[in-house]
Chain A
Amino acid sequence: MEIAEASGSGIIHYLPTEVFDGVVINMQTMYMSWLTMAVVALIVFAATRKAEIIPSGVQNIVEVFIEWLNGLMEGNMGMEGRRAAAPFIITLFLYLFVGNEIGLLPQVGAHFTSPTNDINVTLGMAVTVSFTVYVLGIMRNGLGYFKHFIQPSFLFLPLNLLEEVSKPLTMALRLFGNILAGEILLIVLYMLAPWVIPDLWIGFSLIVGFLQAFIFTMLTMIAIAPVFRAHH
């Protein structure tokens, strides 16, 4: 029953630790999140340490991603939306992308997992996105922004509230499920067939990692878009 155990909580360790009385934090997730942050910061700083008019090296690579995201942002949120949200969106994408891929590193020396294999992380990100939308909405339209909850009529309030909750929840669960499933399946495959097949799965997971980061970022843009469309 090794496989059954593996697919259970036996092999994915979150290291829940009670840091204060009653405050439990998954330390494995935290370490990986910090590592992800460090990698993202390293890449971005390498690219911008000497940001130049004529780019080269890392700056080129990061700029390719940023240009790509800028294009998506302008398409979805308009010029103004891009100006307001660019740092958030870019950081979000880079964090999720790096975070998704970090769990696929060879388990040598350290136990690498994706921070995004923890529902706390993905839900945290989704909640952050929701609040970012509120903050941007209030900054742009004042408290009148919340009027859209009772549109087209106040009868829609429950429906709108449900949507407001379900959207981040689905975003969080989609990312969490994809990444956790990928990692569990990888471990299971290692047990079933130690060679070649897990490598194929890693290749596939790399694509899934990029794709899920993209989907999450894209949904974020779509969530922010109405804020900037309201005026036009």
Chain B
Amino acid sequence: MVDVNATLIAQILNFLVLLAILAKFAYKPLLKAMDDRRNRIINDLDSAEQTRLDAEALKEQYAEQLAGARQEATEIVNKANQIAQNLHDELVEQARVEQEALMANAKERIEQEKQQALLDIRAEVIKLSTLIAGKIVNQKLNSDKDQKLVADIADDVLNKR
């Protein structure tokens, strides 16, 4: 039952033939498919991880931008408020100054008018007084010396008033 003969050689050849055929025609495509699949899965996982990282970075960037935009908006509003306040203050100040100028002007004008009126009245008073006095003292007091005396008195009177 246990006799070694040429079957041993034949079997070695058998196996080598099977190995050669399978290695050439079967294992290469199969092992390649399995390797491809493994590589593809590794790649997919890698790229998924990469995409996740990218998304995270993008998210962070957006958050940063949003915060920046918010801050900028706050700044703009603040600035606008400041400008409005300044403008308001300026206008109020200007109005006040203008008003004061107007008032001063008006007062001056009134003062001038008043002075003018006083001068006019004085002249009139002199004229009238002179006339009245002249008429009253026509006979006695119509020389230039008299006239001067009357003017002095009139001035004295007007200034005392």
CB <8 Å contact, B5 and A91: no
Number of A-B contacts defined by CB within 8 Å:
122
Q: Select which of B6, B7, B23 is within 8 A of A87 by beta carbon.
A: B23
A156 at the interface (CB under 8 A from B): no
Chain A residues, Cβ within 8 Å of B40? 53
Q: Cα distance A29–B14 when bound, in Å?
A: 11
CB <8 Å contact, A62 and B14: no
B83 to chain A, nearest CB (A): 67
Most buried by B among A12, A59, A88: A88
B8 at the interface (CB under 8 A from A): yes
A199 to chain B, nearest CB (A): 26
Q: Cα distance A16–B26 when bound, in Å?
A: 33
Contact flags A31-63 to B (C-beta < 8 A → 1, else 0): 001100100110011011001111100010011
- Of B30-38, B61-69, B116-124, B147-155, which stretch is located at the interface? B30-38
B17 at the interface (CB under 8 A from A): yes
CB <8 Å contact, B10 and A30: yes
Chain B residues, Cβ within 8 Å of A75? none
CB <8 Å contact, A25 and B30: no
Chain B residues, Cβ within 8 Å of A12? 1
Chain A residues, Cβ within 8 Å of B29? 48, 51
Interface size on B, residues (CB 8 A): 33
CB <8 Å contact, B33 and A55: yes
CB <8 Å contact, B10 and A51: no
Residues 111 to 129 of chain A near chain B (Cβ within 8 Å): 115, 118-121, 123-125, 127-128
Chain A residues, Cβ within 8 Å of B12? 124-125, 127-128
CB <8 Å contact, A128 and B7: no
Chain A residues, Cβ within 8 Å of B33? 48, 51-53, 55
Given contacts A33-B14, A48-B27, A53-B40, contact A124 B22 (CB under 8 A): no
The contact sample of 8 A-B pairs, CB cut-off 8 A, is: A16-B3, A16-B5, A34-B14, A55-B33, A88-B19, A88-B23, A91-B18, A120-B10
